[in-house]
Amino acid sequence: MQIFSYTRSGFAPVLALIPTVPGESGHAVCCVGLRIGSTKPQTDLTYSFREASTSLVGLYIHDDRLGPYAYAGLSQMTDPDSGKIRTCISIDWPDNVPNESWLLHALVVLVPQKLRLTISRMRRLGLVVAQTIGKAFNEPQTTLDCRFEQSRDYVERLYTFGLSDKGLYRAACETVLSRYIGLIEITGPGGPIADIVIDTTEVNSESAALACIGRSGCPSSMTNVLEAIARHLGLTPIL
């Protein structure tokens, strides 16, 4: 989830890898792109939504031995030492050389100095919002996605959301945004349902929420759900 969200946000995570073979040296690569498949169904029946990050199939990496855009597949492996499930990264080599398998040890992401919010903290709020909307819609394809976006790009996209004139004015002209915003996006079969926009210069996502914005995929009969979410966050929904 972390690699998926940070890379989609335009950052390039550095992955610290440890070998699956004891005694070998560690390695580091930089993630520069993602291979995306279909979003997987929710396996935990206590949740009424699925997560966009489950669509991640593999990574395109910069490896100083292979150059840019080498492909690395993702899988799970049981660590023989701890017995825990670990993320396994298999780096493709050319000329039919067998793939190398590594365990992900750490993730380092360089972000702008004033970007203090993390994807993990944003996701905590996203889980609550997605669960509320998923239960209200009773739709298994309700999907949660958390990422960062530059506010100028988001404001430009606002004009495609189908907002009312009043809502568009409030969102584009009256809502003060940080340079990078945190974006909790909930989508359904009919398209995006709602966005929660967060000030990334703060560390607590719930108290830093700036706007609750209805999207074109939200039917008018369900606006009361967005109003309840907005009230919980101390906001007035933008529709």
Shared domain for 101 and 156, answered yes or no, is no
What's the mean pLDDT in 65-78? 86
223: pLDDT confidence band, cut at 50, 70 and 90? confident
Among 101, 203, 107, 215, residue whose Cα is nearest residue 161: 215
In contact, 84 and 78? CB cutoff 8 Å: yes
Q: How confident is the model at residue 53 (pLDDT cuts 50, 70, 90)?
A: very high
Tally of helices (H runs) and strands (E runs) in the chain:
5, 11
> With DSSP H G I counted as helix, E B as strand and the rest as coil, what are the percentages for the chain, rounded to 5?
25, 35, 40
Residue 208 lies in a domain: yes
Per-residue pLDDT of 118-153, as tens digits, reads: 999 999 999 999 999 999 988 888 999 999 999 999
The answer to whether position 43 is within a domain reads: yes
Last residue of a domain, one of 108, 132, 167: 108
The residue among 215, 175, 210 whose CA lies nearest residue 194 is: 215
Q: Is residue 124 part of a domain?
A: yes
What pLDDT, on a 0 to 100 scale, did the predictor assign at position 76? 82
Most distant CA pair in the chain, distance: 64
Q: Tell me which of 108, 134, 159 is where a domain ends.
A: 108
| Residue whose tokens read 């609550």 | 128
**Residue pair 133/232 in contact by the 8 Å Cβ criterion:** no
For residues 78 and 169, state if they share a domain.
no
> 155 and 68 in one domain?
no
Please state, rounded to an integer, the average pLDDT across all residues of the chain. 90
pLDDT at 36: 94
- Copy the structure tokens of residue 156: 């430009």
Boundary residue ending a domain (76, 108, 140): 108
Whether residue 157 sits in one domain with residue 199? yes
**Structural domain that includes position 149:** 119-232
Domain count, the chain: 2
Q: Provide the pLDDT confidence category of residue 96 given band limits of 50, 70 and 90.
A: low
**What is the chain's Cα-based Rg?**
20
Higher pLDDT, 98 or 84: 84
Distance CA 127, CA 178 (A): 23
Q: Of 89-103, 163-177, 189-203, 214-228, where does mean pLDDT reach its minimum? A: 89-103
**Which one is predicted more confidently, 167 or 221?**
167
Predicted pLDDT at 193 = 93
